[in-house]
Amino acid sequence: MQGEGPSLGRRCAFVRLGGCNLSCRWCDTPYTWDWRGVGDTGVAYDPKVELHAMPWRDVLHRLVAYRVGLVVISGGEPLTQQDRLVPLVRALVDSGHGVEFETNGTVAPIPELTGLARFTVSPKLAHSGDRRSRRLVPAALAAFAAVPGTAFKFVCRTPADLDEVAAVVDGYGTEPVWIMPEGRTGDEVHRTLGELGDAVIARGWNLTTRLHVSVWGDRRGK
């Protein structure tokens, strides 16, 4: 189930790729990239345990077997591998699937994908822990803003973060905007959502919860 953003609540299948070019301290999927324990949990994951190479046709067969209409490709940062994903995405679209990418917005999409998939771009704010030059890449954000159907989703901890979001939107044209609360538990998400809600609506932006966290907490899928 897609728990965030414009497709919230839809049944889907996930392709979760390993490796990321950022190191967000509060990342909820550190097992895809954190081999040194730099995140908030302090856990160093083993890539030999977490990552498994598969031919794209095998991935396709698994996804088709789920019998869902939507496939979400996430990470880590999936667009660092986007050239290798083109055959899979084409085959999914040809078989009637919708395809969405979850990306941090630092790597511009290639033309072979922009006509096939939708993008939910999540530019990172200062509380991610990465320096601005790493997490905000003007050329990449401009490329995403030019792709029809792209949504921009910002993870916020407090209403004060909304001023930082506004500066990014004004500077790079990252619209439409979705604001999502940070949190690994249902209680955290619920509390932050309540703190953000009125201010988000007042700014004319969209609001999304993290539905999967409310239902399953931080338990990993199988």
In the annotated binding site, the residues are 16, 20, 24, 26-29, 74, 76, 122-124
Torsion sign (Cα): 21, 119, 28, 133: positive
Q: Which residues are annotated as a binding site for Mg(2+)?
A: 29
Edge-to-edge strand ranges of the sheet holding 13-16:
13-16, 70-74, 98-103, 118-121, 151-156, 177-181, 206-207
Q: Which residues are annotated as a binding site for substrate?
A: 16, 74
Q: Which residues are annotated as a binding site for [4Fe-4S] cluster?
A: 20, 24, 27
Alpha helices, DSSP H only, in the chain?
A: 47-50, 56-65, 82-94, 111-114, 132-135, 138-145, 161-172, 186-202, 211-216
Q: If you write DSSP's letter for every residue of 10-60 in order, what string do you get?
A: ---EEEE----S---TT-S-GGGT-SS--STT-PPP-HHHH-----HHHHH
Q: Which residues are annotated as a binding site for S-adenosyl-L-methionine?
A: 26-28, 76, 122-124
